[in-house]
Structure 1
Amino acid sequence: MNSDKQATTPPAFAKRRWVLPAALVEDMYPQSRRADGRPRRTGRDWIVDFTCFLVAVGVGLLAADTLDQEPNLPRSMELADQVVGALACAAVWLRRRWPVGLAVAMVPVSMVSATSGGAALLSLFTLAVHRPFRYTAWIGGASLALMPLYFWMRPEPDLPFLASLVIAALLAVAIVGWGLLVRSKRQLLLSLRDRARRAENEARLRAEQAQRLAREAIAREMHDVLAHRLTLLSVHAGALEFRPDASREEVARAAGVIRESSHEALQDLREIIGVLRAGESDDAGRPQPTLAALDALVAECREAGMKITLAGRVTDPAGVPASVGRTAYRVAQEALTNARKHAPGTEVSVSVAGAPGEGLSLSVRNAPPVGEVPPVPGSGQGLIGLTERATLAGGTLEHGPTSEGGFEVRTRLPWG
């Protein structure tokens, strides 16, 4: 989590944290806190705190010069005023640690000490910056309510009562408004930082999702392609194993199919590995099969010894969208592979029909197997992939046993 926060720090301040307030540095760099849990002052904070201390002292010195103009003020009260003012100026260094306590304490102190006026205004400013508005409203409202009493007890010698009250009230309101502005700017910066962090997290999640979808697409292609080729190898290798008395022509044909299927499988595997290796494949790969390649697929399966009937009633085969034709081809390829594995030697019928606006439908049905067929490991995974492929293409896929005991795979794809 810390690394995420550091990564979302504004670039202009990444290496200059000292120019940021301690509140922002604490949120962006939690590890920078002190052992007692309080944030460390940055270089900017020390400069600001020292400047505030000098301002409080300067305002106190100006107020101390006006004490001599009060004829009814005893000398002891004048000294006490200055001592309380000095303590109030020293308390300015505690304004970050206890903003509410300092502001509350400055309300009665400013009533009895004119030299603590600067420290009282700075305490209101700090309260507005570091605490919610409700604290500022209550404490600032109390200070404004007590101002008439202060100027009634200690009137300004050069200004009338109303003018003194208006000037002091406007100064306090301006200080509080400045503090609220600083607080809103800090909250805006934090919200922008959080928004940037969320945007980075969402971008990372989208990239991970895109990678996962790409891997799933490659896995589907690998299963659809290699399963078909390897099944041909298995069928013909098994025929050679269980028919040692086959004629030379049958052995040569089987060996040719095995060689061709091995070559195609290696070529497909090489292309898939080239996709997985980022930037290492120079060629664009072979074009993906579409519905036009369905005849070649059926002819290849017939050469492998399957009994297949193909019925095509497509109005405009050349007008079938490439994505729809590719999905239909993969469904037919997987269904023929399953029929060869689970019902060897049976007759398979492939039916494809469709027209623009009506959709494209494809059905692959095989007769019930003769005899007992041993179970094949991993059965059903290809049908799951086909269902997902058809769903992504906007269509549907259904599969299941027929009433005669065979098996049928049906899909319907949109053709707008």
Structure 2
Amino acid sequence: MSSTVAPDHPWLLPASLTARPAGGRPGRSARDWAVDTIAFVGALLFWLYVSWGATLPENPLRIGLNGPSWLLDLDSALGLLSCGVLWLRRRWPVALAVAALPVAVFSVSGGVAQAFVLFSVIVHRPLSVSAPLAAGAVATGTAFNALRPDQDVGWLGTFITNVVIVALLLAWGLFVRARRQLVLSLRERAERAEAEQQLRVAQARQLERTRLAHDMHDVLAHRISLLSLHAGALEFRPDAPPAEVAKAAAVIRASAHQALSDLREVLGVLRDSDADGGAAAGEGERPQRRLADLPGLVNECRSAGMRVDVHNEVVASDQAPATIATTAYRLVQEALTNARKHAPGARVSIELNGGPGEGLTMAVSNPPPAVHPSGIPGTGTGLAGLAERVTLIGGHFRNGTTPAGDFRVQAWLPWPA
């Protein structure tokens, strides 16, 4: 992912990692204002202490005491200027750090302000930029000692003190930089993980929509083929007795009502999955079938005039997992629908056997049609959808013509013990 998470405090991060709005510099947050104010006040208090202490006969820290009066005045002016530019260090940290080097040669009252500027550079910029500036700070400290030596501590002691102070600033700044980079990296990883999770949910929803589309195909193809079969009977028997016509019309009406009910059920699940968001990720209550529903399906087809033989040797059919039972039901339903379409009048044989630990083996076969096909159009996707269903749950699927000329649909579904 290429998106960058905007940190809470962009001034603590390198400029390359700082999120900037499209048209300007990053805005200063309330915390930034608070930190800048504290830094300015601290630097100003140090400037006041040094400037005021330089006028006293006794200076406890001996800061800014030695030197001619014009140098003390210059020290005070440059120190006050250093305090003022602290408000600009977020915008030009490196430029201000470079400008502070010659100022540090003449001004000790701006030492805290100069330290804040150097610290900002260490945190904002890579070590290749901050290390030379840190070395420059040590060099300017040495030049300051040469210009205004401290007789009590000596040149070596002052040099070591400067090195220790700059080293502490560098170490602290690098620690803060590394920590902020780690925080940013963790936030980016969290955002990436959230985006990947959303992608997985979207893929799961799409998969569930595909499954619902398969259900709609299976249900409607079955119902509409029954409607076509009953309507065809009325068309070829216009002289049938009124009682038979009324019975056929009632069956057509019931089948149409059932088709609408099945369609409403499937669409209701789809609508619920859209409303629930995550329900489509496999938690939606799709219409589930049981092996016990197969006799009802067969009887429905028989009432429409189909000849169906069933050989059921399944053990503990009521214990079949919902996925296995639904897949088996849809396979038999699609096979019966295809038989009505392409082999009207042919006898259909359904064989079921197996059980827990053994798996469910099923086959639906029918001989070639004795009459011309019904002419009901097909999409050619029913068997492909069944093959996909069976494969997804770890089963095997085959369909085709046997050596005897029968068309056979066969599948094996895994059934855990």
TM-score, normalization by structure 1: 0.79
Question: 1:152-176 CA distances to partner (integer Å, 9 max, x unpaired)?
Answer: 5532244344443343333333333
Unaligned runs of 5+ in 1: 11-19
Question: Which segment is superposed worse, 89-98 or 268-277?
Answer: 268-277
CA contact (8 A) 2:42 2:112 kept: yes
Change over 3 Å in CA distance of 1:40–1:277 after alignment to 2: closer
Q: What's the CA shift for 1:210? A: 4.0
Contact 2:71 2:106 in 1 (8 A): no
Which secondary structure does the structure 2 equivalent of 1:174 belong to? helix
Please name the residue that 1:197 is paired with. 191
The match for 1:360 is 360
Q: What code does the residue aligned with 1:239 have? A: A
Is residue 386 from structure 1 mapped to residue 386 from structure 2 by the alignment? yes
The alignment partner of 2:408 has SS state of strand
Are the aligned partners of 2:64 and 2:108 in contact in 1 as well (CA < 8 Å)?
Answer: no
Task: Say yes or no: does 1:302 pair with 2:302.
Answer: yes
After superposition, give the CA deviation of every residue in 1:84-126 in whole Å (9 maximum; x if it has no partner). Answer: 4444444333321221222233234323443442332122111
Distance 2:30 2:47 in 1: 26
Deviation at 1:388?
2.6
In structure 2, how many angstroms separate the alpha carbons of the residues matched to 1:48 and 1:329? 69
Matches within 5 A, 1:144-223: 144=138, 147-148=141-142, 150-223=144-217
Aligned to 1:293: 293
The whole-number CA distance in structure 2 between the counterparts of 1:366 and 1:24 is: 76
Equivalent residues in 2 for 1:75-86, closer than 5 Å: 75-86=69-80
Matches within 5 A, 1:34-183: 35=23, 37-64=24-51, 65=54, 69-70=65-66, 73-144=67-138, 147-148=141-142, 150-183=144-177
Give 1:203 shift.
4.3
Which structure is richer in relative contact order (CA contacts within 8 A, separation 6 or more)? 2
State the one-letter code of the partner of 1:386.
Answer: L
Once the two structures are aligned, what percentage of the paired residues are identical?
A: 46
Count of matched residue positions in the alignment of Structure 1 and Structure 2: 395
Q: CA deviation at 1:403?
A: 4.3
* Residue identity matched to 2:361: S
Further displaced range: 267-276 or 231-240: 267-276
Question: Structure 1 residues 298-307 or 395-404, which shifts more?
Answer: 395-404
Q: Deviations over 1:28-85 (max 9, x none)?
A: 9855x6x5x2223334434433443343344345445257743xx4555444444444
CA distance in 2, matches of 1:222, 1:287: 10
Contact 1:9 1:193 in 2 (8 A): no
Mark the CA change 1:317 to 1:114 in structure 2 (over 3 Å): closer, same or farther: closer
Contact 1:22 1:40 in 2 (8 A): no
CA displacement 1:338-392 (0-9 Å, x = unmatched): 1101221223222222243332111112222345537644422222322232223
Q: Secondary structure at the match of 1:134?
A: helix
Q: Which residue matches 1:15?
A: none
Q: Please give the secondary structure, in 2, of the residue aligned with 1:264.
A: helix
Q: Is the 8 A contact 1:320 1:415 kept in 2?
A: yes
Equivalent position SS for 1:114: coil
Q: Give the Cα–Cα distance (whole angstroms) in 2 for the partners of residues 82 and 40 of structure 1.
A: 32
TM-score normalised according to structure 2 size? 0.78
Name the structure 2 match of 1:373.
Answer: 373
Q: Which amino acid aligns with 1:236?
A: H
1:361 is paired with a residue of what secondary structure? strand
Deviations 1:212-250 (A, max 9, x none): 343333333222223212211111111101221335565
How many Å apart are 1:314 and its aligned residue?
Answer: 3.0
8 Å CA contact retained: 2:44, 2:80: yes
Distance in 1 of aligned mates of 2:89 and 2:133: 15
Evaluate the alpha carbon distance shift between residue 132 and residue 376 of structure 1 in structure 2; reply closer, same or farther with a 3 A threshold. farther
In 2, the alpha carbon distance for the partners of 1:354 and 1:272 equals 30
User: What is the distance in 1 between the residues matched to 2:120 and 2:12?
Assistant: 15
The structural deviation recorded for 1:293 is 2.8
Alignment partners' CA distance in 2, 1:23 and 1:82: 28
Residue 201 of structure 1 aligns to a residue in which SS?
Answer: helix
**Alignment match, 1:234:** 228
1:220–1:24 CA distance, 2 compared to 1 (3 A):
farther
CA 1:414/1:179 → structure 2, altered by over 3 Å: closer, same or farther? same
Question: What amino acid is the match of 1:42?
Answer: S
Deviation at 1:331, TM superposition (A): 0.2
Asked if 2 retains the 8 angstrom alpha-carbon contact of 1:365 and 1:407, the reply is: yes
Which residue of structure 2 aligns with residue 257 of structure 1?
251
